[in-house]
Amino acid sequence: MRKSDKTLEKTDANEEVCDITAVLKAARFAAEKHRNQQRKGKDRTPYINHPLEVAEMIAVVGKITDTNLIIAALLHDTIEDTETKPEEIFQLFGNDVVSLVKELTDDKTLPKHIRKQRQIDNAATITSRAKILKLADKICNVSSISTNPPNNWSHERLIEYLEWSEKVVNELLGVNNELEVKFKQEMHKTRAHLLKQKINKIPE
Ligand code: ZN
């Protein structure tokens, strides 16, 4: 039986409500999972601000309306940084979302330097949607290096972090121009900020 236009209209509206509900459910789930964590910076910002910022970056700067990708952005650090099991995400948000989150998840059983190299090596092989998510994640992390840098990181360590981020992002190009431009802007701003900070610290 063919649906009338009216039914279709109603279905579309319902889908929109479902999308909003799912996004809110993911935000609450992530907030709950990250409840005991804070960002590394001296501001001790609640950790949930980070996935919220990444999701907003994808929607506002990347102009992406892919609900599952926004949900995956909200959940992108839950498996890696909390006790969350992939099965939990699968049951609540489905296979597409859990696959995206897994693409963003580092293997924490590996030593840090190997994990970091893997991010560079694997970046080009992940799906386009995961690349968008990873790009937004890197933009937010690079930006926080100037706005709220991790406590006790030396100038060299901050610079190293930027260089590593750039290497990862170089493997993610071609998926979203707006986000690529934003990454370059944030990189430029953060480098200028660190340089200014270093110059001011050099005794005359
Ligand atoms: Zn992240």
Helices (H) and strands (E) in the chain, counts: 10, 0
Report CA(83)–ligand 1 centroid distance (Å).
16
* Amino acid symbol at 50: H
Sign of CA dihedral 35, 37, 38, 39: negative
**Which token pair is 126?**
């992940």
Report CA(104)–ligand 1 centroid distance (Å).
8
Chain-centre distance for alpha carbon 29: 16
* 3-state SS class at 22: helix
Reported pTM: 0.90
- Residue ranges in the chain modelled with pLDDT below 50: 1-8, 204
pLDDT value, residue 11: 61
pLDDT value, residue 204: 44
- For the chain, domains (ranges, CATH) are 3-201 (1.10.3210.10)
Write down the mean pLDDT value for the chain. 92
pLDDT tens digits, one per residue of 90-122: 999 999 999 999 999 999 899 999 999 999 999
pLDDT value, residue 20: 95
